Amino acid sequence: MTRVYVGMSGGVDSSLTAALLVEQGYDVTGVYMKNWTQDLPGMKCPWADDLADAKRVAVQLGIDFKVFDFENEYRDKVVEYMITEYKAGRTPNPDIMCNQEVKFKLFLEAALEDGADMIATGHYARVENGQLKMAADTNKDQTYFLYRVTRRALEKTLFPLGDYPKPVVREMAQARGLYTAAKKDSQGICFVGKVGIREFLSQYVEQQPGAIIDVQSGKKLGVHDGAIFYTLGQRHGLDLGGGLPYYVVGKDMDKNEVYVTTDLNDKSLWKSDVELHSVHWIGEEPRAGTYAKRIRHRAPIVKAELEVVGDKASLKVVDQQRAVASGQSIVLYDGDVCIGGGIVL
């Protein structure tokens, strides 16, 4: 019997994942990954409640349950990476780094060493012959967050939810009477629950007031509390009063200045040519040609011309896309197969 360790976060997706694998005849062990336990001012970290919920579901299903403590590694590989990138003025994605370094590396290695044959998670994605494919529910598809996972890891991974729409997943959980069936999906930063990026970064970075400048007139429009807290294309949180909305079109980290405009056609907001570094390909390096690309989770998929040179790649798109920020990931597809991607220079 194939022994599968399921990453159980205490949410409905991973709970149903475990239940389906039990029904399919696998020898299932639930594992809670303890990645972050630190409370923040005004916000209690939900890890203890999530752990309790995961345990309850494991008891319901009659499966073994373990806790893997990755907190130190998580802080080094994911949290420090995120803080460093924001300090440099870039826009990182901690969920992608978590999948690369923790769930499909640390967790996979620890599970195999502990006797598992495979791992499983509640991600909305599919694996076929070592290829990462989009979920049937394209609105919920999470392959964007998984593009840096290795083919070796994918060959050892099951994604039981890949064929189901999210509403159906809730119905299936309710039909099985799972304790977490009605639990709301987590929001905010992947590891701190409902806390937003600004609130989290404020614990590690001193607020430094600086000028908000209109790029068209050069006039100072207001004051911000730190350029680190703003990202390209941002509209909310500028507090510049009435009239047309302003959008962030750039920032100078050395001068601590944020540049804005009311012109949605400002060239700083749009890119047709994008350079990527730290590219990662799940299979063989793709040939130059036309592929589909996604600049963020749930962003529309558009066609782009790809050229790869070493660990860098260049992309040209016919239709420009708004707010392509340095540090964010662009993920590429060949049909419904996620082939990999890279990080915007």
Active site residue 45: no
Q: Does the structural domain 3-197 have CATH classification 3.30.70.1560?
A: no
SS3 readout for the chain: CCEEEEECCCCHHHHHHHHHHHHCCCEEEEEEEECCCCCECCECCCHHHHHHHHHHHHHHHCCEEEEEECHHHHHHHHHHHHHHHHHCCCCCCHHHHHHHHHHHHHHHHHHHHCCCCEEECCCCEEEECCEEEECCCCCCCCHHHHCCCCHHHHHCEECHHHHCCHHHHHHHHHHCCCCCCCCCCCCCCCCCCCCCHHHHHCCCCCCCCEEEEECCCCCEEEEECCHHHCCCCCCCCCCCCCCCCCEEEEEECCCCEEEEECCCCCHHHEEEEEEEEEEEECCCCCCCEEEEEECCCCCCCEEEEEEEECCEEEEEEEEEEECCCCCCEEEEEECCEEEEEEEEC
Q: Which CATH architecture has domain 270-344?
A: Beta Barrel (2.40)
Query: Domain residues of the chain, as ranges?
Result: 3-197, 206-261, 270-344
Which position has the higher pLDDT, 20 or 323?
Answer: 20
Out of 190, 195, 313, 343, the active site residue is 190
Active site residue 338: no
Q: Does the structural domain 206-261 have CATH classification 1.10.1370.40?
A: no
What tens digit of pLDDT does each residue of 188-240 get?
Answer: 666 666 677 888 898 889 899 999 999 999 999 999 999 999 999 999 889 88
- The answer, yes or no, to whether residue 123 has pLDDT greater than 90, is yes
Tell me the pLDDT of the chain averaged across its residues: 94
pTM given for the model: 0.94
Out of 19, 63, 98, 195, the active site residue is 98
